[in-house]
Structure 1
Amino acid sequence: MSHIFIGIYDEDAVYGKRLMEYINRQKEYPLTAAAFASLEALTEFTGSQDVKGLILEEGTQIDSKVPVYYLKKDSTQEACRYGSAKEIVKEAYAAFRPKGLSSGGVTGVYSPSDNLKRTGFALETAEKLNALFLGMESFGYAVYNRSMEDLLFAVKARREGIIDYAYSLTAGTDGVQRIDSARCFLDYKDMSGEDYRWFFQQLGEAGISAVLDMSTACIYDFELFSLCDCLYLPVWEEDIEDSRFLGFKELSKQHPVLSTLHWKEVYLSKTQNRADRTRCPAEKY
C-alpha cells in the first residue's frame, strides 16, 4: 500500500514530535508524518513536497489546498489533542484517504462439492475486484513457510499492524496478491466469528477488498458466510447432480443462517470458464 505523506504543526513542538514518532512507528494505517515547529516551515514544505494532508491544533488558521485534520481540545472526546493517539490516527486517516479508495467488502466463493476449479474462479474474481485473495482450502502449500496459518494466528492475537503483516505474507500470481491456504484445515478450527469480524473490519477501514476461496473443511461455522458482503456459488456441469451440492441446496432452505443468505449462482462450463460478475443476479434460497 502506498503511504500517505502528511505534515504536523502544533504550538507544543514536543507534542507534535511525539505524535509524528507515533504515526511513523504504527503499522495499522499507511501514514508517514513530518512535524514542524512553525507554520511558515510547514507551509513552505507543503509547497515543495507531495503532502496529502495536515494535522493541526484546533483553531490554527492556514490556507491549505490539502485536507486538514484538526486536533480537538475537548477532553471528553476520545481522539482529543492529548487523548488516544491511536484514535487520532484512525480519524486522520479517514480524512486523508484518497476519495474512491473504498473497500468492495469481503466476497466468499464456496462450493460444497469441493471442485478445485473453484479456486480458478476465485482468482479471476479477485483479479476483477483488485482484491486480496485468501486461500481456505483443506490442505495448502506454504511458500517459504508463510501462509494463511500465519495470518490466522496473528488475527487471533489481534496483532497490531495486521494489514501490513497480511501483505508481507502475500505472493503475486497473475496480478493477484494472494495468501495461500494453511497447510492443514485444522488451523481454521480455532477461529471464531469475532476473529473474522475483527479482521474484515480492519480490511474495510484500510479500503481493501478480499476474496475467500472456501472449502467445506475450512468453514468453522455457517456464520462465516453471513460475514461476507457477497457470496458466489460456482457450479460446473459435473457438480449439478453431485449429492453434496444437492444436499447443500436443500439444507439452505431450512437452516436458520443459510436460509437468510443471498447467493449468486454462477453456472460454468468448458466453454464458459469466466462469468460476468456484474450481471449475475443474487438468488435467495
Structure 2
Amino acid sequence: MKKNVIAVCDSDAEYACNFAEYLNSRKKLPFQAEAFTNAGTLCDYAGKNPPEILLIAEADVDSQVEKLGTENMIVLSDEKDKEEGQHKFVYKYQSAESVIQEVMNYYTRNSAPAFYAMSERRMSVIGVYSPVSRCGKTLFALTVGQILGERKSVLYVNMEDYSGFDQLFSGHTGKNLTDFFYELRCKEGKMLHCMQELIRPMGKMDYLPPAESPEDVRDILFSEWLQLFDLIRKNSRYEVLILDIGSCTDQLFRILNLCSHVYMPVQEDLMARCKLAQFQKLVKSWGAIEEERIREIRLPAFQPECTDGNLIESLSWGKWGTCVRKVLEKNGEFKTAGKT
C-alpha cells in the first residue's frame, strides 16, 4: 500500500534530514517522510504532491508556505511553551519520539472528523473489524444490520478485499462500489444519483454491493471512502451506517476513527492472541482511536440456523441471533422488548 507523505522542512539541514530518517525507520508508521531544507523546494514539491502532514520550522514559514493551505501543517517551535495560534505548535528540541507522538495525536483529531456526530440528523456509524481471520466478523456485521433494522433504517457497506457476496447471494451482476468510485473520479456532479442506483435491500436493511476485485478495494483512497460516507450522511434517510472493514482498507486506523464504536470479534487461540496484541500495540503507539471505542467480543462457534437457504432471514434468530442480540443489548445498542 502506498504511504502518505510527511514533509519535514527546516533550513537546519541536519535536523530535517535526521528527523526524516528517524520517521522512515519507524516501519509501523503509515507514512513516508521527505526532507526539505528550504521553503521554495518544499513548495515546488507540494504543488504536485501535496503532503498529508507538513512539519516545518517556525523560521521557514513564509507567505509561499501559507498559500499551500496544507490542512495538517504543524510548526516546529524553538520555544517549549509556545502559545497556540493559527497553526499547531510542537516543541522542536524534545525527543523525536515525543515529537511524533504529538504530531500523530493532532493528526488523528484533526483529519478524521467524527461526522457521525456532526450531521443535522444524527447517524450512528458502527464499525466491525478484526485483525483475526475466521472470527465470524461478516456474519456478525450482517446480523447487527438485521437486528437494528427491526427498529431503525440501516445501510451496510462491506469494505473487505474478498466479501464473498456473489457466491453468498447467488451472483449479483449489477453495478457495485467499483462503478461508484470510477464515477467519483470522473463525474463528481452525478454522485448522489450513482449512489442511489447502487442501494439494494437485504432483509431488514439496505446495502451497497461491494467491489468484486481486491485490487479495486485496495485502490480506494481514504478520502474517497470519506466522500461516500459524507454523501450518505447528507443525502439519505439512514440512522445507522454499518462498516464491515477489511485490513487492506486504505488508512485503516483513520477509517476506524470515523466510527462511534468498533465491534472486534476475537478468538482465543495462540495466533489470534498474537495478532490482537500487535493491533493493540499499534493503537497505543499511534493514538489513532481511543481504546474504549473498541469493543472486543467473543462469538460462539455455532453457525446461524439457516433454513431453505434463506440465510439473511435466519441471522437474527435462533442461538446465533440471540447471542448477537445480547452483545448489542450489553453495549446499549439494542433493548429487548419489555426491558427499559
TM-score by length of 1: 0.54
Amino acid at match of 2:156: F
Equivalent position SS for 1:212: strand
Equivalent residue, structure 1, for 2:210: 181
1:126 and 2:170 matched: no
Write 1 or 2 for the structure with the bigger share of helix. 2
Does the CA contact (< 8 Å) of 2:136 and 2:299 recur in 1? Answer: no
The Cα shift of 1:260 comes to 6.5
Deviations 1:78-125 (A, max 9, x none): xxxxxxxxxxxxxxxxxxxxxxx9342322110111336211111122
Q: Which residue of 2 aligns with 1:113?
A: 132
CA distance in 1, matches of 2:270, 2:123: 29
Q: CA deviation at 1:200?
A: 1.8
CA contact (8 A) 2:132 2:272 kept: no
> Closer, same or farther in 2 for the Cα pair 1:190/1:157, shift >3 Å?
farther
Identity of aligned residues (%): 18
For residue 245 of structure 2, the aligned residue among 191, 198, 214 is 214
Show structure 1 runs of 5+ residues with no match.
Answer: 1-100
Query: Which shows bigger deviation, 135-144 or 239-248?
Result: 239-248
Q: Please give the secondary structure, in 2, of the residue aligned with 1:228.
A: coil
Amino acid at match of 1:184: S
Q: What does residue 67 of structure 1 align with?
A: none
User: Match for residue 23 of structure 1?
Assistant: none
Which residue does 1:91 correspond to in 2? none
2:170 maps to 1:138: no
Q: TM-score, normalised by structure 2?
A: 0.46
Shift of 1:239: 8.4
Give the corresponding residue for 1:267: 298
Q: Indicate yes or no: 2:183 matched with 1:154.
A: yes
Q: Assess if the C-alpha contact under 8 Å between 1:107 and 1:211 holds in 2.
A: yes
Q: Relative to 1, partners in 2 of residues 1:189 and 1:138: Cα closer, same or farther, differing over 3 Å?
A: closer
For 1:269 and 1:239, the matched residues in 2 are separated by: 18
Letter in 1 for 2:177: M
Q: Distance in 2 between matches of 1:136 and 1:126?
A: 15
- Contact 2:160–2:217 (CA<8 Å) still a contact in 1? no
- Cα pair distance change 1:237/1:171, threshold 3 Å: farther
Tell me what 1:279 maps to: 330
Shift of 1:163: 4.0
Query: In 1, Cα distance between the equivalents of 2:264 and 2:251?
Result: 18
> Counterpart amino acid of 1:215?
G
Report if aligned partners of 1:111, 1:234 keep a CA contact under 8 Å in 2. Answer: yes
Partner of 2:222: 193
Cα–Cα, structure 1 residues 188 and 236, in superposed 2: closer, same or farther, change >3 Å?
A: same
Q: Is the 8 A contact 2:135 2:267 kept in 1?
A: no
CA contact (8 A) 1:234 1:268 kept: yes
How many angstroms does 1:144 deviate by? 0.9
Q: Does the aligned pair in 1 maintain the 2:132–2:267 contact within 8 Å?
A: no
Secondary structure at the counterpart of residue 206 of structure 2: strand
The corresponding residue for 1:229 is 260
Q: Secondary structure at the match of 2:256?
A: helix
For 1:58, the equivalent position in structure 2 comes to: none
1:231 CA drift (Å)? 1.7
Structure 2: give runs of 5+ residues left out of the alignment: 1-119, 302-318, 334-340
With over 3 angstroms needed to count, the CA separation of the structure-2 counterparts of 1:240 and 1:211, relative to structure 1, is: farther
Return the alpha-carbon distance in structure 1 between the equivalents of residues 188 and 172 of structure 2: 21
For these two proteins, the number of residue pairs brought into alignment is 182
Q: 1:238 and 1:164 mapped to 2: Cα distance?
A: 46
Supply the AA of the counterpart residue of 1:191: I
1:156/1:191 contact within 8 Å kept:
no
Residue of structure 1 in register with 2:310 after alignment: none
Q: Do the aligned residues in 2 keep the contact of 1:103 with 1:203 (CA within 8 Å)?
A: no
Deviation at 1:136, TM superposition (A): 1.4
Contact kept, 8 Å, 1:106 with 1:228, in 2: the verdict is: yes
- Taking the aligned partners of 1:109 and 1:186, their CA distance within structure 2 comes to 21
The alpha-carbon distance between structure 1 residues 154 and 222, as it changes in their structure 2 partners (threshold 3 A), is farther
Match of 2:121 among 98, 102, 108: 102
From the superposition, tell whether residues 161 and 237 of structure 1 become closer, same or farther in structure 2 (CA, over 3 Å). Answer: farther
Please tell me the residue identity of whatever aligns with 1:249.
Answer: Q
- Change in 2 beyond 3 A, CA 1:191/1:239: farther
